[in-house]
Structure 1
Amino acid sequence: MKPTTLANRTLFVISVIATGAIAGAFVWLLLFVMNLGITFLWEKLPAYFGPYFPLAACVVGGLIIGLFAKRFGPYPEDLNTVMSKVKKEGRYDYHDLGPMSIAALLPLFFGGSIGPEAGLTGAIAGICTWVGDRMKRFGADFQQLTSVGTMAALSAIFTAPLFGFAAPLTGDSPQGEGAQTIELPKTSKVVVYFCAIAGALGAFMGLGALTGGGGLSLPRFTDLHLGTHELAWALPIAAVGAAGGWLYCVFDSVLAQASTKMGDKPVLKAVIAGIVLAVAGIALPFTMFAGETQAEQLGEMWTSLSALTLIATGLVKVFVTPLCIRFGWRGGHFFPVIFAGISLGYGMATLTGVDPVFALCASTAALMGAVMRKPLMTVLLLFMCFPVKALVILLPAAALGAIIPLPKFAQANEKSQQPQQARP
């Protein structure tokens, strides 16, 4: 190997690790800011406004979100759109990183039933594209930094290395028109993504350990018990979870069509979503927010709630999440959908008396399988909150959810959805 080539390869590996670290640090920073905003808005102010504070906060939030979208465009783009652009074009536009980051935080501040992964991933992809553009003179390898950083960000957001590791290896390399890309051998890809993910998780977890905050993770459920009673109830509990995932897909399709028919009215849509979210939150408080903190709180008090309340919370959650996303409170759906599965699982555990962690595994995997339609990726994602030994429950339940057929109009909506372009 020529000295110049060796130097470029060495520089590339160092850049990959640094890119992963930057991605992890940026994820931590935005989550830290998110937590500060939520703490101020939802722990300090309610004392001055009484029990109907959610209505005031969500209406004001809808106005701000709608006006921001009217001024800057429909940011952030959803996770699938970001990933699609990165894979097809090998890059992601970085000219509006400021508005993109603010738009990702606003719905989270005001209690939106969305996750932060869409906005965070888009911002990271833009940053990595900017870095890659300035280092491409060192070789075509550096144009892969966008893909590398995006997957590293996913690993940091979900604290699920296997999910972030598998995602980039499941598709083709970016093939942007006129792009100078190279086809790395699979072994090289493994090394590259391993380095990026290590850098991302190292920075993310290191900053969290130093400051004691900034993270976003669901609780870990490890005390899994599997007996004959659990096996007898496995299919009914998974069926309930799959039904929740089916409902999510139907609601998402219906609300997408409703949003399209309303036309370009970002303020009105965001206010409507805010009102519905607030009413749901007043009746069932756990239906608000992304769900990671709420899952921990629910784990401490679920035995004091009725099965009806727990199941209703999960079902309402799968409605308000697509409502938020389709009506302008843009963000991801992974965290709130996982929370919906957890709430359904606790409800079924209350009804049947099965081991609660078993019920959570079966219901959550089936619900996520129905939404993601990829059982293996569902399982890799859910390893962030369930132990590896739960694979014997997670995989069959996720497969059950994935094979439940959707109505034709929902299938047509999925196929016809085109990535929304943010206005320049």
Structure 2
Amino acid sequence: MAKKSINILIFSGIWSFIIGILTALYLNLINYVIDFIWGYFNHHSNFSLRPAYPFLICIPFGIIIGFLVKKLGSYPLTIEEVLHDVRKSGKLDYHSWWKSFTLGLLSLGAGGSIGPEASTTVLTSGMINWLGDKIRLMTTHYKSWVHVWQIGIDKDTLLQSPKFSELFRTKNQKKWFITFNILIGLIGTILIFKLFPEEGAFGIHERPIHWSWTILWYSLIPLIGGMLFAYFFLYLEKIFTRVETWALPALLKATLWGIVLSILTLVTDYALFSGEFHIVPFSKTALSYSPLFLLLIALIKTISTHVGFAMGWRGGKIFPAIFASVAVGAAIAQFIPIQPAITVSLAVVASITIILEKPLLTAILLIFLLPISLAPLIFITAYIVMVIHKFLLKKIGLKSLIY
């Protein structure tokens, strides 16, 4: 029995390491694809075909995306849809992983204003579910290591196996096993990022902060501004989800969005992409734009994300929301006499806390995007905003604004 447990631990550790590697490779692949398609456009402002280039990319990709949505369905699943499936059935169907992979990569590569977190969540969660099923089979059916390393899973045999939670004697044993495999997976992910580094938004960002008592008086302005933008962002999300029900062919909707997205780039290039790699550079130059244009950028980014998603260009909305929130914060910063970095950070924290409705997750995420010296302020602000948000929800008789 002890030998079998050790074999399972070794097996799960090796596959967790591989899952971590594959997750990192997928994220790097997204960056390589985007850079291959858009690299010259992004790095050469004097590119002669620059105004026409989005039309040459977005419209053909829109046709391809529309065709695949018609054939395969609406993919990738969102994080909310993944969590719903897991709560409903206790697992995620990983047999359709290639649909999320294909459509997710196409929408991102085409310049859609969506983030990689949706397709990455589907792929990683699917691999984790597959690993859980393999471990279930190992405990009761597989006697040979030859069977252990086979990718395929026999569904009939799986039905006869105990549930994953039943494999452990105690809850602590289960927590230890899961924590061990998560850490091994993170090592695999970090290894790939070290071997194939990609310049990104995440990291420890240093910026001198000038603290003063005036921050207490003026902090309410960016907090209110960020909260109002969050409610606006969620309201538009609810409005534009109706577009998905329009009785239009999937091919027409996706192609039409390719045309509209191309037109939006004539106003600002920030209509493209999730904004993940532009958040930090944008925060350093945003004050050079007028407040009105910054609000226009936030509006275009929000519309580009929600409408594009509803038209078949599906993906994550977290990074576009952060980028748009930075634009709103930068607009507010031009009207109040405290350090812009503080104003922008407060607005972003307030906005993302409401959009995610998870203060701890919001704080941890934003610590890697905002100046690290603001970490205590980020945590405090996230929880204060969440308390206010819950109070407002209770007043109107709602439990959540996430649809």
Superimposed CA distance per residue, residues 6-54 of structure 1 (whole angstroms, 9 cap, x where no aligned partner): 3344344434433432332122111222112111211236846332322
* In 1: Cα distance, 2:107 partner to 2:390 partner: 29
Deviations 1:157-206 (A, max 9, x none): xxxxxxxxxxxxxxxxxxx9996242665544543343233223222221
- Which residue does 2:28 correspond to in 1? 32
- When residues 18 and 50 of structure 1 are mapped into structure 2, their CA distance, relative to the original with a 3 A threshold, is same
Work out the number of aligned pairs and report it.
Answer: 375
1:208 aligns with 2:193: yes
Q: 1:45 to 1:376 in 2, by over 3 A?
A: closer
- Tell me, yes or no, if structure 1 residue 23 matches structure 2 residue 4: no
Give 2:216's match in structure 1, choosing from 207, 231, 237.
231
Q: Does 1:389 align with 2:367?
A: no
Change (3 A) 1:235 1:341: same
Change (3 A) 1:13 1:233: farther
CA contact (8 A) 2:257 2:308 kept: yes
1:348 match: 332
Letter in 2 for 1:259: E
Please give the TM-score of this superposition, normalised by the length of structure 2.
0.82
The question of whether the paired residues in 2 share the 8 Å contact of 1:55 and 1:278 is answered with yes
Aligned to 1:244: 229
Correspondence 1:323 to 2:337: no
Is residue 43 from structure 1 mapped to residue 39 from structure 2 by the alignment? yes
**Change over 3 Å in CA distance of 1:412–1:397 after alignment to 2:** closer
Q: Alpha carbons of 1:403 and 1:40: their partners in 2 closer, same or farther (altered >3 Å)?
A: farther
Q: 1:286 aligns with which of 266, 270, 275?
A: 270
* CA displacement at 1:342 relative to structure 2: 1.9
Deviations 1:240-298 (A, max 9, x none): 111111111111111111321x1362112212322332333331222321111111221
Cα pair 2:165 2:174 within 8 Å, conserved: no
- 1:221 Cα offset (Å): 4.0
Match of 1:338 in 2: 322
1:127 aligns with 2:127: yes
Task: Quote the sequence identity (%).
Answer: 24
Question: Following the alignment from structure 1 to structure 2, what is the Cα–Cα distance between the partners of residues 295 and 406?
Answer: 33
Label 1:311 to 1:404 Cα distance change in 2 as closer, same or farther (>3 A).
Answer: farther
Correspondence for 1:97: 97
Measure how far apart 1:119 and its partner are.
Answer: 1.0
Are the structure 2 counterparts of residues 385 and 194 from structure 1 closer, same or farther at C-alpha, using a change threshold of 3 Å? farther
Aligned-residue CA RMSD in angstroms? 3.1
Query: Secondary structure, in 3 states, of the residue corresponding to 2:94?
Result: coil
- Quote the Cα distance in structure 2 between the aligned partners of 1:74 and 1:256: 13
Paired position in structure 2 for 1:148: none
1:375-411 Cα distance to aligned partner (Å, 9 max, x none): 3332233333243323233332344455555999x99
Q: State the partner residue of 1:256.
A: 241
Structure 2 residue aligned with 1:118: 118
Secondary structure in structure 2 of the residue aligned to 1:69: helix
Quote the Cα distance in structure 2 between the aligned partners of 1:222 and 1:208: 21
Equivalent position of 1:180 in the other structure: 163
Which residue identity is paired with 2:70?
K
Cα distance in 2 for partners of 1:177, 1:234 equals 58
C-alpha displacement of 1:302: 2.2
Identify if the C-alpha distance between structure 1 residues 383 and 412 changes in structure 2 by more than 3 Å, giving closer, same or farther: closer
- Alignment pair present for 1:137 and 2:133: no
Equivalent residue of 2:383, what SS?
A: helix
Give the Cα–Cα distance (whole angstroms) in 2 for the partners of residues 127 and 178 of structure 1.
19
Tell me, yes or no, if the aligned pair for 2:77 and 2:119 is still in contact at 8 Å: yes
1:336–1:16 distance in 2 versus 1, CA, 3 Å: farther
What are the ranges of 5 or more consecutive residues in structure 1 without an aligned counterpart?
143-175, 416-424
Q: Is contact 1:252–1:326 with CA below 8 Å preserved after alignment? A: no
Cα distance in 1 between the residues matched to 2:58 and 2:186 = 33
TM normalised by structure 1 equals 0.78
Contact 1:226 1:358 in 2 (8 A): no
Inter-CA distance 14–338: structure 2 relative to 1 (3 Å threshold): farther
> How far apart, in 2, do the equivalents of 1:406 and 1:314 lie?
28
| Alignment partner of 1:309 is 2:276 | no
Is 2:201–2:279's contact at 8 Å kept on the other side of the alignment?
no
Match of 1:276 in 2: 260
Farther-moved stretch of structure 1 (331-340 vs 222-231): 222-231
Q: Distance in 2 between matches of 1:233 and 1:335?
A: 26
Partner of 1:375: 359
